[in-house]
Structure 1
Amino acid sequence: MILPLVAALVVSQPIDPQQQPGVGASSPDVVGPAISEPSPPPAPPEPEETDRSKQTVVTASRSERKLEDVVVATEVITRKQIEAIGARDLGQLLQQHPGVELVQTFRGTGLRLQGLDPEYVLVLVDGERVSGRVGTTLDLGRFSLRDVERVEIVKGPAAALYGADAIGGVVNLISRRVQRPLELSARGSFGALLEGDFRANAGTKQGPFEVRVGGSYRTRSPYDWIPTDAATSGAGIRRFDGDVALAYAPDEQSRLWLRSQYNQRDENAVDLNPSGAVLDRRQRQEQFDLSLGGRKQLASATSLLVRGHFGLFRDQLLQDQRGSRALDDYSQNFNRLYEGVIQADHRIGHHALTGGIEVLGERLSSARIEESPVGRIRGGAFLQDEWDVALSSDDSGPKLKVAPGFRFDLDSQFGGAPSPRLALKLDPTPALTARASVGLGFRPPSFQELYLRFSNQGIGYVVAGNRNLKAERSAAVNVGVDWRPPIAGWIFSVSGFHTRLNNLINVTASGVPNPDDPVTYNYENVARAYTQGVEVNGHFRLPIRATYLDLSYTRLDAKDVTRDRPLEGRARHRVNAQLSTRYRPLNLEATVRGSWVSSRPYFLGTDGGMANVIGLGEEQEVWAPSYFDLEAQVSYKLKGGFEVFVNGYNLLNAGDQQFNPRPPRGVLGGVQWEY
């Protein structure tokens, strides 16, 4: 299965630059037993909600911990929640998650955490980095959620364990494991914009062996918020993926695994150049990953993890001007990722030590680079100690955990960089938990910022990389308090954060561009910025059985200190709400979630030139309007493992061409089967 996946990427044909692209039923009555036969004891009632504090997580400490024991706060989206929401990809899942902002660009959907852009957020799959950032954005639409067991989110500084790109936090997708001799599942949906989503998984567990295979296919037509012009607001997509995972676990102390995965995503759209030219755009992204690893419990208090990962990503972009070849453009980029990790976990007394060595290599081949290919190697050593400090001889007394951590990275281009962090967790009472962390981080410039050269002759500008860039640096503080009142199913939390960035990379230029005299723009370390804010969350079990309400509010202040103005695109206020209920007698389940997002500032060139650029000439501050977002799903369970559902998204039709180009109101219906 692995070789065909490699061959699919190697031999797949590139886009032809000369080709013109196209635009359960109610329970039966119970009959009483005969008098002479004793009645069996009733089955214990199914709990309405799983105890979240007992959930096992791995992201905050790079090793398994109970959620209630992690020193750094971790948010978990379970498989059950993913299905109840009906998300088709990671971007849709996080669209209305508290404290999360999505960044919509024509190259994909990125993720902001605590006001920090996608280049500061690390996305992992089973603890491994994902190759293929386009520019500084890793497109969340590439993640189908087909075989995801849960999604873990850690907000705030995480560079002490994960190194560069984890200044703003980490999002980790954990894959499902086979638990039974035979597992089968399939899901299909169809609806607005001719959107179809079809996926299937199969797995078996036979003694020490586990095998899992799966695949999915998704398609959607382009959409347009302004039908009077030729351009489309959102691209049409066609995506398919497949994977195979093998595991061998002869005992509880040992486990080996091998996983390969391939996905392909095609987009088609129509762009309108400011000069009036119409361009048909086609983009193809292909990704192949191969992972091999093993974990061994060496002794009762020591375990060892060894893992290797190879990722290959190809991005092709074709822009074809209608009626002319003047602005035609075709580019192809290859990105290779090599990753190796050796990690040891050891417990001694009141200390839980986690340490290891990580090596990361990247290599980019592109016609837009004068000296292609280019590459870098980064090695990092990390160590963290989770220390249970004895504050009382009584187990019911106050509890304190202290977790100092340190990582040192050595980059082949930018030298050494330390990333220390100190985290604390205090439980003064069983109902109250306080957490705090402070840490430093860094981010080396991306290959695009260093090397790539992008031109747009239609407008008259060229963006060129700068090989003299320095790494960005950060310092961050996070604090939070969780309170569990004496009401079953109620939880309150309040958190605050502040992150300061130095050597921030911006685009600089002088003069006004025009088609006859293209101006060259460069990346420079010219800015300082900060993001800070407060997030308030509440989880409530309502008096109606199996009904829960989640509320959250986020207040964000993000400022470019150098230019003395807000950072673009950040909403100062955001309110999220989710209501979920289940009515067992009719096997009905419903989830409704909504959000209100306040206005966001943007800075646009008044002369029609390139936006978001220093030195462009005159700029005007424009505030995108606030909007409400609402989506809902209702599902009905049938016999035999079948479930039918109806999903409605963007029900209030929030969106626009320029600032919020998301799909308009739509409805899908489908069926799911699981064995």
Structure 2
Amino acid sequence: MILPLVTAALLAGQPLDPQQPGNPAPAETPGISEPAPLPPAPPAPPEPEETDRRKQTVVTASRTERKLEDVVLATEVITRGQIEATGARDLGQLLQQHPGVELVHTFRGTGLRLQGMDPEYVLILVDGERVSGRVGTTLDLGRFSLRDVERVEIVKGPAAALYGADAIGGVVNLITRRVQRPLEASARGSFGMLLEGDVRAHAGTKQGPFEVRVGGGYRTRDPYDWQPTDAATSGAGLRRFDGDLALAWSPDDDSRLWLRGQYNRRDENAVDLNPSGAVLDRRQRQEQFDVSLGGRKQLPSDTSLLVRGHFGLFREQLLQDQRGSRALDDYSQNITRLYEGVVQADHRLGNHALTGGVELLGERLTSARLEESPVARLRGGAFVQDEWDVALSSDAAGPRLKVAPGFRFDLDSQFGGAPSPRLALKLDPSPALTVRASVGLGFRPPSFQELYLRFSNQGVGYIVAGNRELSPERSAAVNVGVDWRPPLDGWLFSASGFHTRLTNLINITAGGTPNPDNPVTFSYENVARAYTQGVELNGRIRLPVRSTYLDLGYMLLDAKDLTRDRPLEGRARHRVNAQLSTRYRPLNLEATVRGSWVSGRPYYLGTEGGMANVIGYGDDSSVWAPSYFDLEAQVSYALKGGFEVFVNGYNLLNAGDQQFNPRPPRGVLGGVQWEY
């Protein structure tokens, strides 16, 4: 009864009024303890050494808990301590400087590329659950607050064998925090340039078998502009509200039930300049509501069972108001509903760790910009994976081998069945050396937009039409990596290579240049064949100064459209990352400096480049966006009583431009954090 009431309340919320565009948007394993006052939490322990990091638990690579050193697929982890040390306010800012990650900035949000694969091929999860509300092909990273995130797990490369469609390029999983003590609380506030303010807080309690956690946050920022000579803004101003509630009951060590709900609202305001010279005031509101209920039970005979259900509701409203005229005024509303159910079993049988289950996914989209509305899709999937410890030596320090074959079969209500097999292995020739390799197939069915979209912009002179005859995209990928841990405390070096081949790529085609007198139609077709391949090098060095680490990374990417015989658009061939982090305990100081260099990227602005025509180019020209340096830093000082003050500087070299890199300009903010 609760779910329908909450859903109805959200849908009945005050919309953006297309008749009154000027109205401002509204603001957005401890046990039972004695009931005695608790002392403040001790200062956070120092960041664990590399050998200890390998002992932490991760879940994304195998859909069940494993030690990081035991996972067959390489998993990168960003811990809570690292999140706070960087000062990132959302997921996009956190991953901006992460090695091997590329962000895609558009006026509809910031997307994520992994191994050269666009945002539609990367699956983003929260506690293993899908997130609804892709706008076009992008799931905006700015929607993800880091307030309640304990760690971020990243698996690069094909993961369709366990997660199905949308995981061709990899998976990013946000793991939320759990209550660990009888009483805990935190608060954080910051303020800086662009009138940016960020306030967040949480409180939780663990009393015997019961856990309760509640939190909320508010963030605001003014619009910014890289080209003040015209009326348009480069980046939208925003107001963001979010809140969540988590309940859990663990009657014993073998059982756990949980209920989680969260709501966030993000309001944006910006000014757009139409190619014909018209000025449009844009207001956009995105609302997301999620509720999940699940349980895990440890059964006899080394078997565990997971059952989970999830409902997600995403509503986007977009209002464009032309100054001085109503000719180009436009209002649209899109509502996406996501239904997800999972039953999963894990069983240990000798040297085999078996994981299998079934997953049911339903999607429903309601929008006036579709040829028919609403549209719905149902997909069922069955998956199984075996992690087999192959005995190579009776010596505990001898070579070890893990082989992990996996297979998933998805049945889509629109496109039928699709298999996604994968074979992965992990070889440890010695305690200092680890070799990983995997090969797998994947698929991505066309989105509702690609199938059914019908949108007309008469003021510019174009129509976008979906294509119901589209076929799913297919992929085949190979990944190989080596980790070497020299006999020096805190040192680690890794090298990896990847190759992904794509067929039946969905591409936008057009027959001319936008023209208000004779509008051109853009459509979608399966026309492209492409590949992405490259190498990634990473190293972590502990410097002679105590608690000081230097992280270095380099990525070489070769991404090519084989149909047109040219590089894929927007990808940098070279990317270099560096991070220096230090902690000086006698003075309670901690500092982190992150930087990256990104080489030039190709963009195609002619008719064969698809929708790029909309920005006002009518030939087949190509341009290269310039390379840029990015630098950010944070310094924090721990006070008594659990307080900490910090100063954060971002984009210190002012890297950005109006067209190809419209990110916020140089800024500084400061704040205070309290932990109990």
TM range (shorter): over 0.9
- Does the 8 A contact of 1:431 with 1:483 survive in 2? yes
- Does the 8 A contact of 2:510 with 2:610 survive in 1? no
Deviation at 1:48, TM superposition (A): 5.5
Give runs of aligned pairs for residues 173-322 of structure 1, distance below 5 A. Answer: 173-322=174-323
Equivalent position of 2:629 in the other structure: 628
Give runs of aligned pairs for residues 132-531 of structure 1, distance below 5 A. Answer: 132-531=133-532
Deviation at 1:369, TM superposition (A): 1.7
Change (3 A) 1:2 1:178: farther
Moved over 6 A (4+): 1-4, 606-609
Q: Provide the C-alpha distance between the structure 2 equivalents of 1:52 and 1:546, rounded to a whole number of angstroms.
A: 15
Q: CA RMSD in A?
A: 1.8
Equivalent position of 1:13 in the other structure: 14
Equivalent position of 2:48 in the other structure: 49
Secondary structure of 1:489 counterpart: coil
Change (3 A) 1:413 1:609: closer
**Residue 540, structure 1, aligned to residue 541, structure 2:** yes
Secondary structure of 2:251 counterpart: strand
Equivalent position of 2:667 in the other structure: 666
Q: Provide the C-alpha distance between the structure 2 equivalents of 1:407 and 1:608, rounded to a whole number of angstroms.
A: 35
Equivalent position of 1:117 in the other structure: 118
Q: Which runs of 5+ in 2 are unaligned?
A: 25-41
- Does the 8 A contact of 1:2 with 1:260 survive in 2? no
- Does the 8 A contact of 1:21 with 1:281 survive in 2? no
Secondary structure of 2:612 counterpart: coil
Which TM-score applies when normalising by structure 2?
A: 0.95
Deviation at 1:489, TM superposition (A): 0.7
Secondary structure of 1:250 counterpart: coil
Equivalent position of 2:29 in the other structure: none
Deviation at 1:371, TM superposition (A): 2.0
Equivalent position of 2:605 in the other structure: 604
The C-alpha deviation readout for 1:405-452, integer Å capped at 9, x for no partner, is: 000000000000000000010000100000000000000001110111
Deviation at 1:617, TM superposition (A): 6.1
- Does the 8 A contact of 2:609 with 2:620 survive in 1? no
Q: Provide the C-alpha distance between the structure 2 equivalents of 1:46 and 1:106, rounded to a whole number of angstroms.
A: 41
The C-alpha deviation readout for 1:223-269, integer Å capped at 9, x for no partner, is: 00011100000000000011100000000100000001000000000
Equivalent position of 2:87 in the other structure: 86
Q: Provide the C-alpha distance between the structure 2 equivalents of 1:148 and 1:648, rounded to a whole number of angstroms.
A: 22
Change (3 A) 1:610 1:294: closer
Give runs of aligned pairs for residues 53-68 of structure 1, distance below 5 A. Answer: 53-68=54-69
Give runs of aligned pairs for residues 570-609 of structure 1, distance below 5 A. Answer: 570-605=571-606
- Does the 8 A contact of 2:426 with 2:434 survive in 1? yes
Secondary structure of 1:251 counterpart: coil
- Does the 8 A contact of 2:443 with 2:475 survive in 1? yes
The C-alpha deviation readout for 1:539-593, integer Å capped at 9, x for no partner, is: 0100001100000000000000000011010000000000000010110000000
Equivalent position of 2:107 in the other structure: 106
Secondary structure of 2:98 counterpart: coil
- Does the 8 A contact of 2:607 with 2:613 survive in 1? no
Change (3 A) 1:195 1:655: same
Deviation at 1:454, TM superposition (A): 2.1
Question: AA paired with 2:584?
Answer: Y
Change (3 A) 1:453 1:209: same
- Does the 8 A contact of 2:509 with 2:610 survive in 1? no
Q: Provide the C-alpha distance between the structure 1 equivalents of 2:437 and 2:93, rounded to a whole number of angstroms.
A: 30
Equivalent position of 1:33 in the other structure: none
Aligned positions, number = 653
Question: AA paired with 2:344?
Answer: Q
Deviation at 1:12, TM superposition (A): 1.4
Q: Provide the C-alpha distance between the structure 2 equivalents of 1:608 and 1:145, rounded to a whole number of angstroms.
A: 36
Equivalent position of 2:33 in the other structure: none
Equivalent position of 2:28 in the other structure: none
Secondary structure of 2:54 counterpart: helix
Equivalent position of 2:73 in the other structure: 72
Q: Provide the C-alpha distance between the structure 2 equivalents of 1:617 and 1:326, rounded to a whole number of angstroms.
A: 24
The C-alpha deviation readout for 1:11-65, integer Å capped at 9, x for no partner, is: 3111000113379xxxxxxxxxxxxxxxxxxx9x966524110010000000000
- Does the 8 A contact of 1:256 with 1:294 survive in 2? yes
Change (3 A) 1:621 1:209: same
Secondary structure of 1:19 counterpart: coil
Question: AA paired with 2:612?
Answer: A
Q: Provide the C-alpha distance between the structure 2 equivalents of 1:349 and 1:370, rounded to a whole number of angstroms.
A: 55
Q: Provide the C-alpha distance between the structure 2 equivalents of 1:525 and 1:285, rounded to a whole number of angstroms.
A: 31
Deviation at 1:456, TM superposition (A): 1.9
Deviation at 1:607, TM superposition (A): 12
Deviation at 1:370, TM superposition (A): 2.9
- Does the 8 A contact of 1:295 with 1:306 survive in 2? yes
585-594 vs 294-303, greater mean Cα deviation? 294-303
**Residue 558, structure 1, aligned to residue 542, structure 2:** no
- Does the 8 A contact of 1:246 with 1:257 survive in 2? yes
Change (3 A) 1:366 1:7: closer
Change (3 A) 1:612 1:476: farther
Equivalent position of 2:127 in the other structure: 126
- Does the 8 A contact of 2:508 with 2:611 survive in 1? no
